[in-house]
Amino acid sequence: MYKFLFTLLNFFIVVNAPAQNTVEVPVPKQLTILRPKLVVGIVVDQMRWDYLYRYNSRYAADGGFKRLMSKGFSCENTFIPYTPTVTACGHAGIYTGSVPAIHGITGNDWWDYDLNKFVYCTQDDDIKTIGSNTTLGQMGPHNMLATTIGDELRLATNFKSKVIGIAIKDRSAILPGGHSANAAYWYDNKTGDWITSSYYLTQLPKWVTDLNAKKLVDKYYALDWNLLYPINTYDQSTPAAKGFTHPLKQLVGKNYGVIPATPFGNSFTLEMAMAAINGEQLGGGAATDMLTISLSSPDYIGHGYGPNSIEAEDGFLRLDKDLGDFLSFLDTKIGKGEYLVFLSADHGAAGVPAFMKEHKIPAGNFDNEKSGEEINKLLKEKTNINGLVIGILNYQVYLNRTAINNAKLNKDSIDKWVINYLLLQTGVERAFALEALNSTTLNAKIKEVLANGYYPKRSGDVQIILKPQWIDGFLTGGTTHGVWNPYDTHIPLLWYGWNVHAGVTNREVYMTDIAPTIASMLHVQMPSGSIGDVIEEVMK
């Protein structure tokens, strides 16, 4: 009976099927993926956010900063969400959208507990220099664990996109491009030439050798470093006691190591960037290309003279003109509205302690080297073992864990002795074992940035937090950076060009938001270690 009813039901369904209304399923339209011809990332090394406004009245109407601010989009409250705030971490953080705890770049240098030695962030002894006879090209990105937005762009286009990094500093050229970059070029201060490594190429392209043949550094040296304007107009600076004297002519053909510490280092870098665009025909193919540029000279100038120096002010006024010329070049070469630019910084800088104290603001210097020596003496007295402190860097004390284990010493006791010593030192606000970070009573914001910077195999054992306005080292002269305070972590972030509308947001965003925002704009996957969010306000 049931079999009969089932058969009858099927009969009626089949017979009546043609009589039913046919529902047409719409075929989805093919999505058109729009991308700019070229993405240009510009990182100004050691640029505090307030420099956008400190010198604003002196920036040229046709210069770079006013153009980016008036016709682009400014994220006014952009912060670095980790420590230490140094060059290598900053460049890795911008382009990976990540933090040292994930991408593994915990400083410019660190003690590597796996390798049992000090490591420079991009050092790679297994590769060779291309472009000179020095060892300055033995560099690569192997220590960085995550991908960059450049890597993801290359993957998304099946490696049709070109990605190239350029900077005076090797780490600032290498880390932004990522692992699959077509090339990275940096400066050999012994020869005055742009070089690369065998990680990327077997020989320099002709356009690079042609540029090197011009010996542009000598051209800049011949100009001397004179002020752009009359000295009495530099009212945002502390007057130089001996005036402004930076002759360079005597260095022509002799000393190529000084150019980075002058504004001409920026000009030199941007000339290299324009040569790369022409030589590699960046932005001229079917796939979007990426050029990462780091302008290293403000960092050298800041370390040498401090953020309130005439040198710093003149450096940024000259950089403004160079950026304006570079943007005009992009307009002509790539086309207005056809390229996407962002400008940010890898870190800021503290005021020079002597300058701050002169104006009744508490400040000071913490002597890393002396403290390390004294802690070693203390531990020798208690344990009868030499060299238990490997060093103090990145505001952390690195202990010899192997020696401690071999001697069967109590690690907690060693930590406590170090901490007790540090807490007695002038300028030290807090000191604690990094392993105990989660249980340490600490401001939540500070705890978060320290955790974001902690990668156990490359981080120290005891964290040092200095009082505000205190810096490590630099007992005379200029200043430095590396801590959680706003003068080191509040950085500019300007967007301009393709699919960017003019505007501003005061919402708090982070360095780690840059890469995922670019990924969203380009419709590519965000980098593998990215923890950032898309800044939706930027896009049209």
Distance of CA 339 to the CA centre of its chain: 21
CA distances from 385 to 54, 151, 413, 456 (A): 52, 47, 14, 24
Distance of CA 123 to the CA centre of its chain: 17
Dihedral sign (CA 280, 281, 287, 289): positive
Task: Report the alpha-carbon distance of residue 356 to residue 361 in Å, rounded.
Answer: 5
**Type of residue at 480:** T
- 230, 232, 236, 238: CA torsion to nearest 10: 120
The H-or-E segment that residue 269 falls in is: helix 264-280
Smallest CA-to-CA distance from 315 within 228, 384, 257, 383 is with 228
**Helix (H, G, I), strand (E, B), or coil: what is residue 24?**
coil
Apex 346 CA angle, 522 and 248, nearest 5? 120
Rounded (10°) angle between helices 310-333 and 264-280: 20
Mutual angle of helices 297-305 and 310-333, in 10-degree steps: 170
Q: Provide the CA 106 distance to its chain's centre, in angstroms.
A: 12
Q: Return d(Cα 186, Cα 268) in angstroms, integer.
A: 11
The answer to whether residues 301 and 312 touch, using CB atoms and an 8 Å cutoff, is yes
Q: What is the DSSP letter of 161?
A: S
Q: CA separation (Å) from 529 to 15, 92, 102, 103?
A: 59, 11, 6, 7
Give catalytic residue positions.
87
Q: How far apart are the first and last CA of the chain?
A: 67
84 prior amide bond cis, ω within 30:
yes
- For 58-96, give the secondary structure using H, E and C: HCCCCCHHHHHHHHCEEEEEEECCCCCCCHHHHHHHHHH
Q: Is 230 in contact with 207 (CB distance < 8 Å)?
A: no
